[in-house]
Amino acid sequence: MQANFKMLIKGILTFIPGLYAVFAKPMSETGTHSARYCYSVWLRHLVTAHENGLQTDPRVVAELGPGSSIGTGLAALISGAESYCALDVVEYGGTERNLAIFDQLVDLFRSREPIPGEDEFPEVKPNLASYQFPDQVLTAERLNRALEINRIARLRKSVVSAGADDSCAHYKVPWHDVEVIESSSIDMIFSQAVLEHVDDLGHCYDGMYQWLKPGGLMSHTVDFRCHNTAQAQDWNGHWTYSALTWRLIRGRRSHPSINRLPVSQHLRFMQLAGFNVVVEQRFPLPTKIDEKQVAPRFRPISQTDLTTSGVLIQALK
């Protein structure tokens, strides 16, 4: 399997003093620079939870890896949550961007805009059976209460004073220590395209378990594809690379990078942490590689792992 030559060269160049800063730049922009993306992502987590009979009205919400803005969490606040805490390892965005996204999100909820779907965001998962505004979850009564003018003004102020004691929005960057969030204080934690980037997955799932209240929900979309480290048509080519090739591709960068762990490993860590997995919606893709081509580190590997390009997992503490 051919490594993506450009990625390999860039990785190698980071080992040369003076070139590290040029080639080790963190991710510049993620999907959350767009209000419509944030709206779409939050509603997909919410609708999927509803379809599976899980809670859809969390009071205290946390998010791992919000990226370019905290907009997805702001969508959670606007639709009814009382507080939101974002944890990331790289600082992105800023108040001005978050405010602009907040205002656009309020308009989207006020006009009960349909969920932006596969045409607009073909890469965003999970796909839904319907992209109509989810009146079944955000009923007129709930939304009227949530969009009440004084409430929205208070939330908007919280975006400006994010992190202050009286703010509803908190952004902790970088986070490492599980103590960053009080134990058993969160109703729902979610992430979108983040857990494939986390190096210490066991620590992360243990943290999430500790933060959630008993019965609390976690909802994660994970993308197992190669993130440009292989040729475009070889979505799982990264599992064939030896430790050395991978070390060269990664270079001295700590971000952006992927942990290369397949779905079974995520499920194992969740189980070890104590989670009860309720929803496992896999996004299958045909594989061009078989077990013999997979690097020793990943063997044995199941056919399920080899053909799972992504997953939406919802689990309860």
Ligand X SMILES: C[S@@+](CC[C@H](N)C(=O)[O-])C[C@H]1O[C@@H](n2cnc3c(N)ncnc32)[C@H](O)[C@@H]1O
Interface ranges with ligand X (CB under 6 A): 30-32, 41, 64-67, 87-90, 192-194, 197-198
Of 180 and 295, CB closest to ligand X: 180
Token output for 213: 């209240």
**CA geometry: angle at 41 spanning 38 and 44, to 5°?**
145
**From CA 173, how far away is CA 255, in angstroms rounded?**
14
Q: What is the DSSP letter of 297?
A: G
Of 88 and 234, CB closest to ligand X: 88
Of 257 and 294, CB closest to ligand X: 257
Token output for 224: 């197992």
Question: In whole angstroms, how close is the CB of 291 to ligand X at the nearest point?
Answer: 28
Question: In whole angstroms, how close is the CB of 293 to ligand X at the nearest point?
Answer: 27
With tokens 């499920």, the residue in question is: 267
Question: In whole angstroms, how close is the CB of 157 to ligand X at the nearest point?
Answer: 24
**CA geometry: angle at 316 spanning 313 and 317, to 5°?**
135
Question: In whole angstroms, how close is the CB of 283 to ligand X at the nearest point?
Answer: 15
Of 101 and 168, CB closest to ligand X: 101
Cβ atoms of 251 and 89 within 8 Å: the answer is: no
Question: In whole angstroms, how close is the CB of 139 to ligand X at the nearest point?
Answer: 27
Kindly report the number of other CB atoms within 10 A of residue 208's CB atom: 27
Of 81 and 152, CB closest to ligand X: 81
